[in-house]
Amino acid sequence: MSDFCQIQDWKLFSGSIRPWVIAGPCSVENRESLISEAFSLKKAGVRVLRGGLWKPRTHPGCFEGVGETGAQWLREAGAAADMHTATEVANARHVEIVLKNGIDAVWIGARTTGNPFLVQEIAEALRGTDTPVFVKNPMVPDPELWSGAIERFARCGLDCICAVHRGFHFYGENLYRNPPFWQIPVELRRRFPGLPLFCDPSHITGRRDLVEDIARQALILGFDGLMIEVHPDPDRALSDAAQQITPEDLAGILGRLKIRKTSTQDAEAAAAIDDLRTGIDRIDAALIDLLAQRMDISASIGLIKERSGMTVLQADRWNNVLERARAMAKEKDLDEDFITEIFTTIHRASMERQLKK
């Protein structure tokens, strides 16, 4: 599936330049502040206004959005500031309201992407329209669920599809509200190279002071655009107060962000990269060769263990291997967690080889 419509051809972003930006409040709260915010965002260079009408909240009793009433406000704010509009839909009834009120684009929230029944229902409700669909990643770091949702929209004939990386649920201490686990959007891009990809640094960080850094990292990686939560008075926002920034903050951030291209016209730079890549390719070949040798030795050890009735797992030995690898990594200034991850994988494969008859 490679025939996704390129974002520069989307009507939604006509007249704007990279990075393509969708910005606006987490939740639509009232008509007046939304209209005045739309003008501030337009001034900051934003062409697509976002606002959540139905908010999926973890606990009941929290503000759950103004619902259908706000759809008209969103449309009015867009028309007043000459911007396009987007909101979240989580079922077919939401889609019906969005279409009836002339809202231009929809996004699928993280909690919905993980539910194939709802994704299918929404995709069918959108069939036959040219509504742009932004598909946030599911809460769990699973590229299958994310790509499955994208395929459902594509199969219903929608061409303007964009993936939005908003980080993943993580149980435990973390700097981020939803850590980015960049390898997941990277895997999505490997599967669908032509699929536009946005980053939502607001939901990744959960903290306004970190939004710019994640936005910068996303653009350096090659993301096409950003979805950012902006509120005129963030501390008083009815949802996601800690992560929203002001329109002025956004203008500052957009002014500082730099865009990179996927390739270079500079022949000297291109040649230098090619040269260095030859070195990488040589090392990769040597690594594979060494790993094959290591696995052969491991298989021989496995046979001896079997003959002499020893268990495959030798916890002390494994501990020593890991400790030694971590110490060597430290000496070479390599990240110890990175090396732990690699050795854990190698050790798993090695045990699997010894378990095979």
Smallest separation, CB 106 to Mn ion (Å): 15
d(CA 23, CA 46): 7
94 binds ligand PEP (CB under 6 A): no
109 binds ligand PEP (CB under 6 A): yes
Stretch that binds Mn ion, among 86-94, 109-117, 124-132, 232-240 (CB under 5 A): 232-240
28 binds Mn ion (CB under 5 A): no
Residue appearing with tokens 């020593």: 320
The option from ligand PEP, Mn ion, none interacting with 136 (CB < 5 to 8 A, set by class) reads: ligand PEP
The option from Mn ion, ligand PEP, none interacting with 106 (CB < 5 to 8 A, set by class) reads: none
Find the helix packing angle between 69-81 and 92-100, rounded to 10°: 40
Binding positions for ligand PEP, 11-50, rule CB under 6 A: 26
By C-beta, is 134 or 343 nearer to ligand PEP?
134
90 binds ligand PEP (CB under 6 A): no
Q: Specify the DSSP element, H or E, that contains 6.
A: none
Instruction: Return all residues near 289 (Cβ < 8 A) that are at least 6 apart.
Output: none
Number of residues forming the site for ligand PEP (CB under 6 A): 10
The option from Mn ion, ligand PEP, none interacting with 231 (CB < 5 to 8 A, set by class) reads: none
Q: Mask of contacts with ligand PEP, 147-186, x by CB under 6 A?
A: -------------------x--------------------
d(CA 207, CA 233): 15
The secondary structure of 9-35 as a DSSP string is G-GGGTT--SSEEEEE-SB---HHHHH
Q: Say how many C-beta atoms besides its own lie within 10 A of residue 38's C-beta.
A: 27
Stretch that binds ligand PEP, among 106-114, 123-131, 140-148, 182-190 (CB under 6 A): 106-114
Tell me which residue of 3, 11, 21 sits closest to 200, measured CA to CA: 21
3-state secondary structure of 110: helix
Q: From the centroid of its chain, how far is CA 333?
A: 29
Counting every residue written for the chain, the total comes to 357
Q: Mask of contacts with ligand PEP, 47-86, x by CB under 6 A?
A: -----x---x------------------------------
Decide: residue 249, CB within 10 A, 0-12 exposed, 13-18 middle, 19+ buried. middle
Q: Which of 84, 165, 203, 231 binds ligand PEP (CB under 6 A)?
A: 203
Contacts to ligand PEP by CB under 6 A: 26, 52, 56, 88, 109-111, 136, 166, 203
